[in-house]
């Protein structure tokens, strides 16, 4: 039976059919739905781990114990889990082990545009790259087989357009694979120098074997159309090339992007006047071709290093054909950047931080939107967890007076991911920072995943809930205050007190995400006759509050009745109207 | 020939469900299909674009400028933004709802005036008051299915096929409202 499946759902399906036993991941766009889809299969143990390093290690443990295991992450998650990854390349596997990493060319929802293929090369782990949902399923299935056959972890690399496009997939049944024997084998699994030195020899042999495999493997296919132009491509870029160039060129499609074949590429390239290497982001395949001494290639001299490609762009570069005419009316069209939702608890927090004019060491989550107008209060965003440790560094560099104007903001999931260690650093090294944990009871940004602070597992089962107050106290934070960010006055008072304190403190800004099913705001907010058009409420940056004919109005289709605006209006000019 | 449909709107308006209804209806017709969605940042009230392409064999999931046979726009500004993607002779279906983006709310930019007229003067446009029709159906959230109804009327796929997909894609408790919304769009 053929079904329309998202690339991510197809990866999940492939892992399921391959008999995967354990899947551990941390969410991250565009990879999140893989693990959310896996949960639909009761045969598989799945979890949201606190971060990618933990997730990868859970999968590694499951593999060593003899099960088939997978961990899925976005590209920057691979940075977090890089440490175990580089060494599990040496140990190899017992049960098949797959890491599925999703890149985000164009940065639809990421803080950088790194190319994960560098990791495959650097860690010497083979990498497959599917180009549609059907390949997502087949390649993932094959990845488990290859992992066991070559005693290696295997990367499956996706990109946003593959992860988030639906196409047709043929479904098959799951094959139950018995657990592999577990035997104590320190020479393979205890990576201390004497053992690792020997394993490195095995790694190099494995890469040589895999390069041979790449020469003949069906993952790398030639399509001959009798053209004078050759195209080497992989992943979604191959689909763009096919759409743009059709049968007018010959193709070498690489389904395996590390290690790359040598003879196969040389033999292909010599048939053409010119060979275009079409790959988004970095020139990985191109550099390989150049290292093989191939000179008739065109790559990044024709195609950008930045963002996503399109068929139109490829058509222009290769065939010099222009895009069809399009309607251009020439008027400036305002941008529509993402905003905090109506009812978002973070809005209260940033309203206060903006009002107090504080320096805000920011982090990654829905609350990164505190950087955009009109709330505009976030000063920095680097990576998950950096808000806490970077503020410590800021304070050490600029001293006590600066620190009185400085706070960190970090979401509950992000705090669990990598904020705790930064907080330990502050306590240990006599820092004096104020850290605000934005506890909205969920991992919001990536679409509502449970985390260790929410009290529920990925399957929605009740579990122990990390007690943030006890946790902070136990590492040596004596001042922990819980406050509702919608109680603007109280929240402002707490922030003022804590930044002026000569000790480190944590403020837990507690109010659940407005999109949670358990949150039931009702009715709408409405402007009454007391309004003097002072526009204080406009400072909230609520998508429901706007100006029509110079008067403030609240749009009923946007307002969810959260009532925050009632708390900032100095004239009592906003009231609730029940539905 | 591959048919290319672009669905644009504002995060939270239900464009994703619309593209899934469309995708699942066309596979029933034996076509190859690709539906490209955008998740993540763009859901938080930002511009959302999805592409649905179907035909004998579809390679790229995305649509370039000047290529779309149909644009289904859930909001006027987004219709205006997407207009360059319409091919010559293509059709654009526009919900005449206005949702101010943050730069307009803060006064940093102006919402262009008379977008519907400007588009109608330059392309084959159908303007619908989908919000009123959704309200009439019983839920303002059904704007997406009203618009699917309008599109269905303008497609070569039979009425029953659409109803079948809606029955399998929409949760039971919203089904009645959505079927009503579809009909209101179809007959508008
Ligand atoms: C290393 C890494 N992993 C995953 C992500 C994707 N991501 C961005 S924010 C976020 C979690 C945000 O949750 P939380 O901290 O609870 O804040 P909220 O969005 O709920 O406000 C995730 C998983 C990332 N940017 N970096």
DSSP states of A113-179: ---THHHHHHHT-EEE--SSHHHHHHHHHHHHHHHHHHTS-EEEEEEHHHHTEEEEEE-------PP
Structure tokens at A198: 């020997």
The tens digit of pLDDT for each residue in A496-508 reads: 999 999 999 999 9
Say yes or no: A463 and A537 in one domain.
no
Q: Do B77 and A334 touch (CB under 8 A)?
A: yes
Chain B interface includes A396 (CB < 8 A): no
User: Which of B27, B58, B62 is closest, CB to CB, to A310?
Assistant: B62
Say yes or no: A115 and A44 in one domain.
yes
Q: Which domain holds residue A241?
A: 220-319
The 8-class DSSP code of residue A416 comes to I
Chain B interface includes A76 (CB < 8 A): no
Mean pLDDT of A484-494: 98
Confidence tier at A174 by pLDDT (50, 70, 90): very high
Q: For residue A401, with 0-12 CB atoms within 10 Å meaning exposed, 13-18 middle and 19 or more buried, which class applies? A: exposed
Kindly give the pairing relationship between strand A220-223 and strand A250-254: antiparallel
Say yes or no: A6 and A31 in one domain.
yes
pLDDT at residue B30, rounded to an integer:
86
pTM tops 0.95: yes
Q: Is the pLDDT of residue A306 over 70?
A: yes
The 8-class DSSP code of residue A560 comes to -
The tens digit of pLDDT for each residue in A109-127 reads: 999 999 999 999 999 999 9
pLDDT at residue A309, rounded to an integer:
98
pLDDT at residue A33, rounded to an integer:
97
pLDDT at residue A163, rounded to an integer:
98
Chain B residues touching residue A335 (CB < 8 angstroms) = 47, 101, 103, 109
Mean pLDDT of A257-268: 98
Report the CATH number that the domain containing residue A538 is assigned in CATH.
Answer: 3.30.70.20
User: Which of B34, B44, B111 is closest, CB to CB, to A341?
Assistant: B44
Q: CA nearest A536 in B: which residue?
A: B106
| A-contacting residues in B 34-53 (Cβ below 8 Å) | 34-47
How far is residue B179's CA from residue A159's CA, in Å, rounded to a whole number? 36
Confidence tier at A332 by pLDDT (50, 70, 90): very high
ipTM for the complex shown? 0.95
Whole-number average pLDDT of chain B: 94
* Contact criterion met (CB below 8 Å) for A8 and A33: yes
Q: Do B39 and A29 touch (CB under 8 A)?
A: yes
pLDDT at residue A105, rounded to an integer:
96
Say yes or no: A301 and A179 in one domain.
no
Nearest by Cα to A363 from A293, A302, A289, A438: A438
Report the CATH number that the domain containing residue A276 is assigned in CATH.
Answer: 3.40.50.920
Mean pLDDT of B117-128: 96
Say yes or no: A505 and A529 in one domain.
no
Q: Is the pLDDT of residue A456 over 80?
A: yes
How far is residue A20's CA from residue A286's CA, in Å, rounded to a whole number? 35
pLDDT at residue A78, rounded to an integer:
98
Select B3-186's CATH number: 3.40.920.10, 3.50.50.60, 3.90.1210.10, 3.40.640.10.
3.40.920.10
Q: Does A324 reside within a domain?
A: no
How far is residue B12's CA from residue A446's CA, in Å, rounded to a whole number? 15
Instruction: Decide which of A178, A194, A216 is a domain's last residue.
Output: A216
Chain B residues touching residue A372 (CB < 8 angstroms) = 102
Ligand 1, atom nearest to A76 Cα: 1
Rg (CA), chain B: 16
Q: Does A390 reside within a domain?
A: yes
If one counts the domains in chain A, the total is: 4
Say yes or no: A226 and A206 in one domain.
no
Mean pLDDT of A472-488: 98
pLDDT at residue B40, rounded to an integer:
66
Distance of CA A410 to the CA centre of its chain: 17
Say yes or no: A129 and A28 in one domain.
yes
Q: Does A338 reside within a domain?
A: no
Confidence tier at B1 by pLDDT (50, 70, 90): confident
Q: CA nearest A312 in B: which residue?
A: B64
Report the CATH number that the domain containing residue A444 is assigned in CATH.
Answer: 3.40.50.970
A370-381: string of b/e by CB count within 10 Å (b at 16+)? bbbebbebbebb
Beta strands (DSSP E) in chain B are 3-10, 32-36, 47-55, 68-73, 86-95, 124-128
Q: Does A337 reside within a domain?
A: no
User: Which of B43, B105, B108 is closest, CB to CB, to A546?
Assistant: B105
Beta strands (DSSP E) in B18-167 are 32-36, 47-55, 68-73, 86-95, 124-128
Q: Does A263 reside within a domain?
A: yes
Domain boundaries, chain B: 3-186
The tens digit of pLDDT for each residue in A67-94 reads: 999 999 999 999 999 999 999 999 999 9
Q: What are the two backbone dihedrals, phi and then psi, of residue B67, each rounded to the nearest 5 degrees?
A: -115, -25
Say yes or no: A544 and A499 in one domain.
no
The tens digit of pLDDT for each residue in A9-41 reads: 999 999 999 999 999 999 999 999 999 999 999
Q: Does A326 reside within a domain?
A: no
How far is residue A486's CA from residue A313's CA, in Å, rounded to a whole number? 48
Q: Whose CA is nearest to atom 15 of ligand 1?
A: A411
Whole-number average pLDDT of chain A: 97
A166-185: string of b/e by CB count within 10 Å (b at 16+)? bbbbeeeeeeebeebeeeee
Q: Does A334 reside within a domain?
A: no
Q: Do B62 and A335 touch (CB under 8 A)?
A: no
């Amino acid at each position: 039976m053929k079904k329309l499946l998202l690339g991510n759902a197809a990866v999940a399906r492939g892992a399921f059919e391959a008999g995967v036993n354990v899947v551990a991941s941390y969410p991250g766009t565009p990879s999140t739905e893989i693990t959310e889809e896996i949960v639909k299969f009761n045969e598989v143990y799945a979890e949201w781990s606190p971060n990618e390093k933990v997730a990868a290690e859970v999968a590694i443990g499951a593999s060593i114990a003899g099960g088939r295991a997978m961990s899925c992450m976005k590209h920057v998650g691979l940075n977090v889990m890089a440490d175990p990854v580089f060494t599990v390349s040496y140990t190899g596997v017992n049960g098949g082990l797959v890491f599925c990493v999703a890149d985000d060319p164009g940065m639809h929802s990421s803080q950088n545009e790194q190319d994960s293929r560098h990791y495959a090369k650097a860690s010497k782990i083979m990498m497959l790259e599917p180009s549609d949902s059907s390949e997502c399923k087949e390649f993932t299935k094959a990845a488990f087989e290859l992992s066991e056959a070559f005693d290696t972890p295997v990367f499956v690399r996706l990109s946003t357009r593959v992860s988030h496009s639906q196409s047709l997939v043929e479904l098959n049944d799951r094959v139950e694979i018995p657990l592999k024997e577990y035997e104590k084998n320190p020479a393979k699994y205890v990576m201390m120098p004497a053992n690792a030195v020997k394993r490195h020899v095995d790694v190099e042999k494995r890469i040589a074997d895999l390069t041979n495999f790449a020469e003949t493997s069906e993952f790398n296919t030639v399509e001959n159309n009798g053209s004078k132009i050759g195209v080497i491509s992989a992943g979604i870029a191959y689909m763009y090339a096919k759409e743009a160039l059709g049968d007018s060129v010959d193709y070498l499609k690489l389904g395996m992007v590390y290690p790359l074949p040598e003879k196969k590429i040389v033999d292909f390239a010599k048939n053409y006047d010119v060979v275009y290497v079409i790959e988004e982001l970095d020139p990985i395949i191109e550099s390989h071709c150049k290292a093989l001494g191939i000179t008739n290639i065109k790559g990044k001299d024709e195609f950008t290093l930045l963002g996503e490609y399109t068929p139109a762009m490829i058509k222009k570069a290769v065939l010099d054909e222009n895009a069809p005419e399009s309607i251009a009316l020439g008027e400036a069209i305002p941008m529509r950047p993402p905003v905090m939702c109506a009812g978002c608890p973070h809005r209260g927090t940033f309203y206060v931080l903006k009002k107090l004019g504080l320096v805000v060491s920011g982090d990654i989550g829905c609350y990164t939107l505190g950087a955009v107008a009109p709330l505009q209060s976030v000063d920095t965003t680097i990576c998950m967890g950096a808000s806490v440790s970077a503020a410590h560094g800021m304070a050490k560099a600029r001293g006590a007076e600066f620190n009185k104007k400085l706070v960190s903001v970090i979401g509950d999931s992000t705090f669990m991911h990598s904020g705790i260690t930064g907080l330990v650093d502050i306590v240990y090294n006599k820092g004096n920072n104020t850290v605000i944990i934005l506890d909205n009871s969920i991992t919001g940004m990536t679409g509502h995943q449970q985390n260790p602070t929410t009290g529920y597992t990925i399957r929605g089962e009740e579990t122990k809930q990390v007690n943030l107050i006890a946790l902070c106290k136990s590492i040596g934070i004596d001042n922990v205050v819980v406050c509702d960010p919608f109680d603007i006055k109280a929240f402002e008072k707490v922030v003022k007190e804590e930044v002026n304190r000569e000790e480190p403190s944590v403020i837990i800004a507690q109010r659940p995400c407005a999109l949670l099913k358990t949150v039931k705001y009702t009715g709408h907010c409405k402007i009454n006759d007391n309004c003097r058009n002072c526009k204080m409420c406009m400072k909230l940056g609520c998508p429901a509050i706007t100006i029509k004919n110079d008067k403030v109005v609240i749009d009923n289709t946007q307002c969810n009745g959260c009532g925050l605006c009632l708390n900032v209006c100095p004239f009592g000019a906003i009231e609730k109207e029940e539905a | 020939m591959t048919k290319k449909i672009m669905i644009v709107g504002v995060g939270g308006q239900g464009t994703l469900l619309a593209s899934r209804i469309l995708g699942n209806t066309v596979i029933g017709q034996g076509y190859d299909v690709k539906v490209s969605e955008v998740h993540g940042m763009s859901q938080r009230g930002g511009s959302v674009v999805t592409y649905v392409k179907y035909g004998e064999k579809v390679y790229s999931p995305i649509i370039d400028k000047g290529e779309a046979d149909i644009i289904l726009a859930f909001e006027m500004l987004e219709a205006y933004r997407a207009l360059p993607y319409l091919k010559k002779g293509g059709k654009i279906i526009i919900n005449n709802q206005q949702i101010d983006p943050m730069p307009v709310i803060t006064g940093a930019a102006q919402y262009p005036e008379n977008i519907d007229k400007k588009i109608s003067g330059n392309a084959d446009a159908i303007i619908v008051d989908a919000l009123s029709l959704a309200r009439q159906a019983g839920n303002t959230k059904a704007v997406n299915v009203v618009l699917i109804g309008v599109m269905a009327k303008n497609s070569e796929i039979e009425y029953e096929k659409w109803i079948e997909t809606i029955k399998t894609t929409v949760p039971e408790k919203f089904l009645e409202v959505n079927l009503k919304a579809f009909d209101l769009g179809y007959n508008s």
